[in-house]
């Protein structure tokens, strides 16, 4: 059985969006992020993240790095609104979430980007193995999308933390199943 890692980039105050203003990876954190992607056999994405990544990457030519990996890797998409066949090497998952994801996880090491509703369900249902928060040394200070916003408590055990020269930290956590 493969592993499922959920990952996201954010500011110190937890903002996930508006990345054009604060997302400035250094050489080392960027390389580690690329290695994280290369270690995955497939991506597991919610609809919003799938559409956002697709819009950014689909027309980028293969570069031997990010574009080549993101465009080639199989993608499994969880959505209540999408139907039918998807493009961009993607498959729409149907049926009950835990069962569908566990079936894909049985065959792949999965990487999931984002910390919204899908990530919350992956944590609370005990499906995700690890959460990686890339925390950038910036405070957005205003409204913004935050991890699990309005979705309820998720508890974690810190498993490791890495600080890069730029001040970016990579904090890795194992989710604690509810009731433990």
Dist CA 29 CA 37 (whole Å)? 12
Computed over its alpha carbons, how large is the radius of gyration of the chain? 16
> Spelled out in words, what is the top-level CATH class assigned to the domain 4-176?
alpha beta
> Among 136, 128, 134, which residue's Cα sits nearest to residue 171?
134
pLDDT tens digits for 124-156?
A: 999 999 999 999 999 999 888 999 988 889 999
Provide DSSP, 56-90. HHTTSPP-SSHHHHHHHS-EEEE-SS--S--SSSE
pLDDT tens digits for 96-125?
A: 999 999 999 999 999 999 999 999 999 999
Q: Which pLDDT belongs to residue 155?
A: 93
Query: Between β-strands 155-163 and 130-136, what pairing exists: parallel, antiparallel or unpaired?
Result: unpaired
Q: Which pLDDT belongs to residue 120?
A: 94
Residue the block writes with tokens 């969006």: 17
Dist CA 177 CA 122 (whole Å)? 10
Q: Which pLDDT belongs to residue 180?
A: 63
Dist CA 7 CA 9 (whole Å)? 7
Domain boundaries, the chain: 4-176
Dist CA 139 CA 143 (whole Å)? 11
């Amino acid at each position: 059985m493969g592993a499922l890692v959920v990952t996201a980039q954010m500011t110190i105050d937890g903002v996930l969006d508006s990345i054009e203003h604060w997302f400035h990876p250094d050489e080392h954190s960027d390389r580690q992020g690329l290695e994280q992607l290369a270690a995955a056999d497939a991506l597991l994405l919610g609809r919003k993240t799938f559409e956002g990544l697709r819009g950014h990457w689909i027309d980028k030519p293969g570069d031997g790095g990010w574009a080549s990996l993101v465009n080639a890797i199989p993608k499994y998409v969880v959505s209540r609104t999408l139907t039918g066949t998807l493009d961009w090497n993607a498959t729409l998952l149907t049926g009950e979430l835990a069962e569908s994801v566990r079936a894909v996880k049985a065959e792949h090491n999965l990487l999931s980007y984002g910390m919204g509703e899908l990530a919350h369900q992956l944590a609370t249902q005990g499906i995700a193995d690890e959460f990686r928060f890339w925390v950038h040394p910036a405070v957005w200070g205003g409204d913004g999308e935050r991890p699990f916003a309005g979705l309820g408590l998720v508890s974690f055990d810190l498993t490791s933390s890495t600080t890069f020269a730029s001040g970016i930290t990579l904090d890795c956590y194992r989710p604690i199943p509810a009731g433990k």
